[in-house]
Amino acid sequence: MTHYAIPVEAVMALIVWIGLVVFAQNFEVTEKRHYQALAIGLLPALAAFATQVVRNVLAAAGERAGTDFMTADFAMNVVATKNFYLEGLFALGEGYLYSSMILCAITLHAIDHEFRKAAGWALGGAALSAIGLIHSFRYANGDILTDLHLPMPQFNMFVSGYLAMAVILAITPLIRER
């Protein structure tokens, strides 16, 4: 086990505090109609923080029990018994800086009825998801790690979701004109 001069949890709490202060300041300079975009943009960061807490709890419990709780089987067991989707939390938290910006921008442009710009951001989300910079993780050695898909991008459910969003956003102006 690695020991640091400053515990990771203390640094994470400080980063979250700074993020909340910056987030609060955003409400002072952002038009009221864009508040939803700010809130959507915060969700991946909250998921990343929750993921860190879950990782630490499961690692400590695993050490105590002499087993590895950071497995796909355990995550599926949690879903089956508690209806708590750990893998969804992990996927949303991976690459949270990028996904926060993308989801915030999509929402902002949709609010402003700039659907083609929103579609462009959705395509960016599809590209980042395809190469594994967002929403991509794997279980390894009792931990959850980012799973980059380089040099060969992967088509997964997040890529298809972003692509579907891009198509819907791109055709929305055509539908609205009729």
Domain residue limits, the chain: 8-177
Q: Report d(CA 37, CA 49) in Å as an integer.
A: 19
8 A C-beta contact, residue 89 and residue 47: yes
Whether residue 114 is predicted with pLDDT greater than 60 in this model: the reply is yes
How do residues 144-163 score in pLDDT, each as one tens digit? Answer: 888 898 888 999 999 999 99
How far is CA 177 from each of CA 92, 93, 171, 172, 173, rounded to the nearest angstrom?
A: 34, 37, 10, 9, 6
DSSP state at residue 33: G
Residues with Cβ within 8 Å of 133's Cβ and at least 6 positions away in sequence, in order, are 95, 98, 146, 148
Q: What is the DSSP letter of 133?
A: S
| Res. 127 pLDDT band, cuts 50 70 90 | very high
**Helix axes of 115-130 and 96-111: crossing angle, nearest 10 degrees:** 160
Q: Residue 147 and residue 126: Cα distance in Å, rounded?
A: 15
121/54: higher pLDDT:
121
Contact criterion met (CB below 8 Å) for 134 and 157:
no
- Read off the pLDDT band of 178 (50, 70, 90): low
Of 5 and 126, the structure prediction assigns the larger pLDDT to 126
Confidence band for 1, pLDDT divided at 50, 70 and 90: low
Element (H, E) at 4: none
Tell me, what's the pLDDT at 83? 81
Closest CA to 137 of 164, 165, 99: 99
